[in-house]
Amino acid sequence: MNNDRIVSLGINSMIYHKPGCRYVDRIKYKNRMSLPKNDAKSQGYHVCRYCNSMNHHYRVEQNKLDFYCRYKKLEFNYIDGILYVKSEIGCWKLVYVRREEKIALYHRNTTAKPLDFEHPQYEEYHWQADKPFCNSIEGYLYYIYEHDKYKAAIERGEKVTKFSSKKYARHEAKAQRRRQNKRLDYLFKLIERQNVWLKEFYYPLNYWPKTASILLAAL
């Protein structure tokens, strides 16, 4: 969903609407004008109360919800103007922020308690700061699916080689560095233990590089 707004030139109305708003259908086609939201505001137009809501997005984006439910295995629960989304490993909520005319995303806090998706409103959530606002539900559904798909693969111990965005490529690069550092730490601990053993039994020092090379090859 884009950032354009629709106004009427035929009547004395200073209201702008989002695409898909049911009140746009009442404006004659010849009187409709589309312009960026900021331009509409600068000309004195005000947002329509109806389409400045989650109810509007939930209605006009039903086909997107159906797609992610059928093909991406996401589950939805719409309660009191808040859309809750359940994935393979996580739970999220989408909250409409009227002053921003956008949607904010919240992620369920990590907990050992089983998720009750019949009543997700009683769970505790935190704001997803790396994806603060979005113009559409669809934008967040894509984010949720990719986020949890990547996280689930990591939890299963799978090595991820294909990425849908640079963000997850960076995550995997950091994860690889952490794994390499752990392997090096493990190697150094083995070397330290071997060094103690060598000292106790008076192994010649020229044997030590050979021992270290064997350990490196084993890793």
Q: Check residue 12 and give its pLDDT.
A: 79
pLDDT in tens, 133-143: 999 999 999 99
Q: Which two tokens stand for residue 112?
A: 């050992």
How far apart are the C-alpha atoms of 173 and 92, rounded to whole Å? 26
Write down the pLDDT at residue 155: 82
Flag residues of the chain having pLDDT under 50: 203, 205, 215-216
Q: What pLDDT, on a 0 to 100 scale, did the predictor assign at position 172?
A: 56
Instruction: With beta carbons less than 8 A apart as the criterion, state whether 8 and 32 touch.
Output: yes
- Residue written as token pair 């113009």: 135
**If DSSP codes are grouped into helix, strand and coil, which group holds residue 84?**
strand
Instruction: Give the span between the Cα atoms of 210 and 207, in whole angstroms.
Output: 6
Q: How far apart are CA 65 and CA 70, in angstroms?
A: 9
SS3 of 191-206: HHHHHHHHHHHCCCHH
